[in-house]
Amino acid sequence: MRDKGEPVNKNNRVIEKLSSIFGKPVVKRTSIPDCFWALFALSTCLKVLLIPAYYSTDFEVHRNWLAITHSLPLNRWYVDATSEWTLDYPPFFAYFEWLLSQLAQYVDPHMLDVHNLNYASERTVYFQRISVIVVDLVYALGVYSCLRALGIAKKTQQHLAGCLLLLFNVGLIFVDHIHFQYNGLLFGILLLSISALLNDRYLLSAFSFAILLNFKHIFLYMAPAFGVYLLRFYCLNKGRSILNTVNAMMKLLAVGLTPFVLSFGPFWHQIPQVLSRLFPFKRGLTHAYWAPNLWALYNTADKVAAVALRREKSKDGDPTTTSGLVQETRHLVLPNISPAVTFALTLAFMMPILLKLLLTSSTKRAKLIFLRAVVLCACSSFVFGWHVHEKAILMCLIPICLLALLDRTDAKYAYLLSVVGYFSLFPLLFEVDLILQRRIQRRLL
């Protein structure tokens, strides 16, 4: 297209000179970079952008806990009932809130007043939101060490997928950064504990898992998987004498119980009161908003049957399952379910995988089965548990990401479960944020 002739030669020299000064166009590269921390920074930015998003009553719950731990003496923490959102997490979480409150008093002291119910000044919102974002650093550490413990090499597609799945986990972003909770911290500890176990550092794993239990006792549901694995591969390992086994058990017990002593120690004279707060069996079979588990189907069947049989309510004002309040309910047709039944069912459905874990001999294979056991324990407790929250599905969804990275078949099931799982979280949210979820699931494919 350009004209060729005499002046070009002279021009060429000028052009070359110019181009050596001002640069030449670049050629693209295609390898996958190591970008764990860059992705974490990206996810942090995303969370910052979500600060003005809607938050649920959990925001007020945590604000109230800040106020309780800051302004009341230790022996009132689990007694106070000024707000309906009483402290119902184990003591480590309360200490964590106390630590936060030490910072909060410089941000806005009004949020630390127990009587200042539903207080949400701009500073309070920013403080609480940012505290969640900052403690997600623990989660990032957990993800990092887990990916390393699984032996996933950096700069591979697998590593990138792992980072994306875990660091941009839609469920966590929904629940922590929109709905408002501190799950990032908790799952961070869980992942650290899992990674310690995968690295054969059993005592560290037991210790960190015990700490986790003292942050949020719902992780008890996963304890069987940890317990069986540690028993099988730490205590009853091949070639150990009985003395050694007893010794190992003692060590494990000592390490596992230390966090409990540290946590519940200061409350030793009011343990029953604390426990009644932690395990409120009075709250009923299903949560105010039914979690998508067996009991939701059971309740529905009961309602359908009641309508079909034209059975009226037995007494006026007797609470029903859909009243939206947290309280005990009665079924109209089907038999009422007691906590014991739910526990029996939960345990029964955990048994197969636990037995399989117990009977596995190769350590390498056992690790895969252990991860499956963690997921299945969480699943069975979600499906059959007493008073399950819909958010508890995260306990399946986070560990299953690890499983998806290891095994192709597992990845398929993981994909299916994740789609349904994240979908089940939708009622927590309002519409505009939903688009986010498709992206990561598509990555999974």
Partner 1 sequence: MKSVTNVELLAIACLGLAIRSIISLHSYSGFGVAPMFGDYEAQRHWQEVTVNLKASEWYKNGTNNDLLYWGLDYPPLTAYHSYIMGQVARKVNESFVELGTSKGIESGDHKSFMRLTVLAADILVYIPAVLSMCICLDRTFQTNIKLELFIIFMLCPAQLLIDNGHFQYNNISLGLCIMAIAAILRDRHYLAAFAFTLALNYKQMELYHALPFFAYLLGQCLSQKSVSALASKFIAIATTVVATFILLWYPWLHSLGSTSQVLNRLFPVSRGVFEDKVANFWCSLNVVFKLKNKLLNHQMALICMGATLFFALPTNVVLLKCRNKMSFLWALLNTAAAFYLFSFQVHEKTILLVVLPACLLFNWWPREMMWFLETAVFSMVPLFKKDNLLLPSITLAIIFYIVYNIFWNEKDEDRNIVQTHSIKNISNFLMATVVMASVVLAAPSKFPDFWSLLIAVISCAHFMAALLFGNIQQIIGAFN
Chain residues binding partner 1 by CB under 8 A are 1-2, 8, 11-12, 15-16, 18-31, 33, 35, 38-39, 41-42, 45-46, 48-53, 432-433, 435-436, 438-439, 442-443, 445
Q: How far is the CB of 211 from partner 1 (least distance, A)?
A: 32
Tell me the closest approach of the beta carbon of residue 156 to partner 1, in angstroms: 13
CB of 122 to partner 1, least distance (A): 11
**Amino acid residing at 296:** A
Query: Following CA atoms 341, 344, 347, 351 in sequence, which dihedral angle do they give, to the nearest 10 degrees?
Result: -130
* Residue nearer to partner 1 on the CB measure, 249 or 436: 436
Backbone angles phi, psi at 388, to 5 degrees: -85, 140
Look at residue 249 and give its three-state secondary structure: helix
CB of 440 to partner 1, least distance (A): 8
How many CA atoms lie less than 13 Å away from 371 in the CB half-sphere? 27
The whole-angstrom separation of Cα 424 and Cα 418 is 9
CA distance 12 to 388: 76
Measured between alpha carbons, how far is 376 from 353 in angstroms, rounded to an integer?
A: 8
Q: Which is nearer to partner 1, 33 or 280 (CB)?
A: 33
Q: Which is nearer to partner 1, 19 or 118 (CB)?
A: 19
| 38/348 with CB nearer partner 1 | 38
Q: Two tokens at 176? A: 């922590």
Q: Count Cα neighbours of 262 within 13 Å in the Cβ-side half-sphere.
A: 17
Q: Which is nearer to partner 1, 22 or 268 (CB)?
A: 22
- Residue owning tokens 């923490």: 77
Question: Which is nearer to partner 1, 29 or 310 (by Cβ)?
Answer: 29
What's 266's DSSP letter? Answer: G
